[in-house]
Amino acid sequence: MTRISPQAVRWTIVTAITAVAAMYLAAWLAPAIGLYHADGAYLVTARALAAGHGYVIDNLPTPVPQTGFPPLFPALLALFSLVSLNTLWLKLLPLICTAGWLTLSWRLLRRLGASEAGTALVILLAAASPVLIFLGTNLMPESLFGLLVAAAILALLDDKARLAGIYAGLATLTRPGGLPLIAACALILLIYGRLRKAVEFTVAGILLAAPWFGWTLAHAPSSDYYGRATHASASILTSLEASEKLQALGHNAVYLFSALWTMLSGIEDIWSAITTLGLLGWSLWRRRQLVPDLFLALYALGLLFALGPVQYALAPVLPLVLWMFWRGLRDFIRREALLALLVLLAGVTVRFDYRRFLLLPSGQFPSGDQRPNNWKEMERLFAFIRSNTPPDAVLVANLDPLFYLNTGRKTIRGFAPDYFHSVYQAGGVAVTPDGLAAAVLAENCNYIALTPDRNFVESAAYRRAVEALERGGMLEPVSVPALAPGYRLLRVVANGFRR
């Protein structure tokens, strides 16, 4: 077999890195924030902190405590917002975290035994994933979480238990997935007979994370859409009937084991899950590493019992997952063939990126394959609402944080996401007209803003519910000049007044 020269590998990697860096730059320059919902909600929470309103969801007519998002990322975002609310400035936070995370991941993989070429290809594959580009250029906490996970594992390998515990505690204050990290690291120290180090690590991690869990327990659900009950419904353990639990677990197993291919190539089917399971079994049989395999096992177990897509939750550990496969395959496939295979996969991933890149004129690097809302149309709708509705008007919108941030009007979503029916049951009803009408009347809402929201699984049901209320006479359309089809504003007329 013809050998691949180191120079050829190096130039291939440099070319791919340049292409991926261009994708990150283009995604960072996109003007939109908030088209994913969660990114807008993080900014709403951060601005409430910066304004001294406390850790609350400020867009609601009656603000409620924020119990869905751990506080570290919103706190850092609040510091950024005190300097400027410029979109590009705010998006620097996740971009900087992504750069730091990939840098620490490089150090971690080298420490775990990866070669320089292998490390470069693994990091390149991870960075080229469209999911990581989206998360790294939007107001999402996953890149910060990945940075802290890598820092914690590196500190553990350096025998700095207390520092590792601090990083793990901070990771838990970024995403709940930090709990498996605390458990795994403590178990690893105990397995190696380092009882004192295990205590130091656990105390440091728990002392940092405990106040957040105390906060969530102390604040009873006070909103149908953002309370603790809604977050509990996002877990298989705390919701669903027995038969539904089994159905969700089966789907989650397929989603989890196919997520690697989905993030790299867009492929999501049972065969990709079977392939992943086979490769994983081979890698663990050939070369096991207690660090980081135990953490990944506990982390995957947590994802298995979560309702909803797992891609974004798996993204922060993607370099470690790729490393598991690399270390098993490098003994099975000749080095040249393995490098060629990974370069080919990197090419497929970059092509996948390019498909998303073509959707950038809408205003944001998309979170999925569907075209996101057109930012120019959104701005036209925002401007009309600011100029033609009273300052105390209350709006209903699927992207309620986004409308609050851009119009100054209080907003509600109007429904609680039903993850089971929207994700696991084809044709399931995620939003009903009766439920939406009850929310409109309960909050004394004045307008409903309707946007395409193609990347939301519940958007079709939401649109049908709004149209049903319009046919029933509860809503009437408001004429907005030059607004594209799919973007609408409707006035509520069934609650005794018009605005």
The whole-angstrom separation of Cα 133 and Cα 350 is 11
Q: Structurally, how many domains does the chain consist of?
A: 2
Average pLDDT over residues 203-216: 96
The whole-angstrom separation of Cα 419 and Cα 425 is 9
Picking from 51, 147, 25, 59, the residue whose alpha carbon sits closest to that of residue 97 is 147
Residue 354 tokens, joined? 């390019």
Give the pLDDT band (50/70/90) at residue 498. very low
Residues 72 and 135 in one domain: yes
Picking from 384, 385, 447, the residue whose alpha carbon sits closest to that of residue 412 is 447
Residue 205 tokens, joined? 């991690």
Residues 338 and 454 in one domain: no
Residues 136 and 223 in one domain: yes
Residue 50 tokens, joined? 């910066």
> With pLDDT > 70 as the criterion, what percentage of the chain qualifies?
88
Average pLDDT over residues 201-215: 97
Sign of the CA dihedral with 434 first, then 436, 439, and 444 last: negative
pLDDT higher for 240 or 315?
315
pLDDT > 80? residue 29: yes
In our burial notation (b when 16+ CB lie closer than 10 A, e otherwise), range 243-254 reads: ebeebbeeebee
Residues 350 and 406 in one domain: no
Residues 347 and 477 in one domain: no
Residues 355 and 405 in one domain: no
Residue 263 tokens, joined? 């993030």
pLDDT > 60? residue 308: yes
Ranking 6-15, 22-31, 292-301, 407-416 by mean pLDDT, the lowest is 6-15
Residues 127 and 215 in one domain: yes
Quick check: is 241 in a domain? no
The whole-angstrom separation of Cα 179 and Cα 251 is 24
CA count, 13 A, side-chain hemisphere, 479: 1
Residue 335 tokens, joined? 């080095």
What pLDDT score was predicted for residue 499? Answer: 42
Residues 462 and 348 in one domain: no
Task: Give me the helices (H) in 310-334, please.
Answer: 311-314, 318-329
pLDDT digits (tens, 9 = 90+) for 48-79: 999 999 999 999 999 999 999 999 999 999 99
Quick check: is 305 in a domain? no
Quick check: is 223 in a domain? yes
Element (H, E) at 99: helix 87-111
The whole-angstrom separation of Cα 191 and Cα 456 is 44
Quick check: is 370 in a domain? no
Residues 11 and 109 in one domain: yes
Characterize the bridge pairing of strands 56-57 and 64-65: antiparallel
pLDDT > 80? residue 303: yes
What pLDDT score was predicted for residue 339? Answer: 61
Instruction: From residue 405, give the alpha-carbon distance in Å to each of 58, 224, 228, 382, 439.
Output: 10, 21, 24, 10, 21
Residue 281 tokens, joined? 């079994």
What pLDDT score was predicted for residue 333? Answer: 60
pLDDT > 80? residue 429: no
pLDDT digits (tens, 9 = 90+) for 328-343: 776 666 555 556 666 6
> Which residues lie closer than 8 Å to 111 by C-beta, 6 or more apart?
154, 157
Residues 454 and 356 in one domain: no
Domain range for 82: 6-229+334-360
Residues 383 and 353 in one domain: no
Residues 221 and 339 in one domain: yes
Quick check: is 324 in a domain? no
pLDDT higher for 425 or 428?
425
pLDDT > 60? residue 19: yes
pTM confidence score:
0.92
pLDDT digits (tens, 9 = 90+) for 359-393: 888 888 888 778 899 999 999 999 999 999 999 99
Quick check: is 112 in a domain? yes
pLDDT > 80? residue 98: yes
pLDDT higher for 257 or 427?
257
The domain boundary residue, chosen from 326, 360, 394: 360
The whole-angstrom separation of Cα 47 and Cα 28 is 21
Quick check: is 453 in a domain? yes
